[in-house]
């Protein structure tokens, strides 16, 4: 397995996003995917609670990202290790509080998450899971 940044990811993300994604890939590389997805699911529950409490959370976009990540986990055994590496970083980005754009800052708070998830989905040949940002 190599952690050289694939062109499709490098071309889609800003330098700051790439640096964060690389750090998260390294952080979560050894974590079993189901354990990492439990954290994703917990984050989504937290976001739904925050939205219900009046926070500026685009729960529809967060839900679309959550659904795409859930589908990734369901296909996990059919994805090669190089692509799994980057997908784990995308899952890590969704659960991270240290995003490029804060998830609670505005309705656009998940655009950076969406960009990272979509780049990693395309890299993994999972274009059917790519999320249309204009739908949210």
Does the structure show a pLDDT above 90 at 106? no
Range of the domain at 31: 7-135
Give the Cβ contact number of residue 104 at 10 Å: 13
Q: Is residue 1 part of a domain?
A: no
2 domain-assigned: no
Q: How long is the chain?
A: 136
- Is residue 120 a part of any domain in this protein? yes
CA triplet 34, 40, 41: central angle to 5 degrees? 90
pLDDT band at 1 (very low <50, low <70, confident <90, very high): low
Whole-structure pTM value = 0.94
pLDDT digit string (tens) for 54-103?
Answer: 998 999 999 999 999 999 999 999 999 999 999 999 999 999 988 766 67
How many independent structural domains does the chain possess? 1
């Amino acid at each position: 397995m190599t952690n050289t940044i694939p062109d499709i990811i490098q071309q889609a993300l800003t330098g700051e996003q790439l640096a964060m994604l690389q750090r998260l890939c390294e952080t979560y590389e050894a974590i079993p995917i189901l354990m990492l997805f439990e954290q994703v699911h917990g984050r989504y529950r937290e976001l739904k609670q925050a939205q219900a409490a009046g926070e500026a959370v685009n729960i529809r976009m967060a839900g679309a990202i959550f659904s795409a990540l859930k589908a990734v986990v369901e296909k996990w055994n059919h994805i090669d290790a190089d692509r799994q590496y980057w997908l784990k970083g995308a899952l890590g980005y969704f659960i991270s509080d240290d995003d490029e754009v804060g998830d609670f800052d505005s309705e656009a708070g998940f655009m950076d998450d969406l960009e990272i998830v979509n780049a990693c989905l395309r890299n993994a040949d999972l274009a059917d899971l790519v999320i249309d940002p204009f739908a949210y």
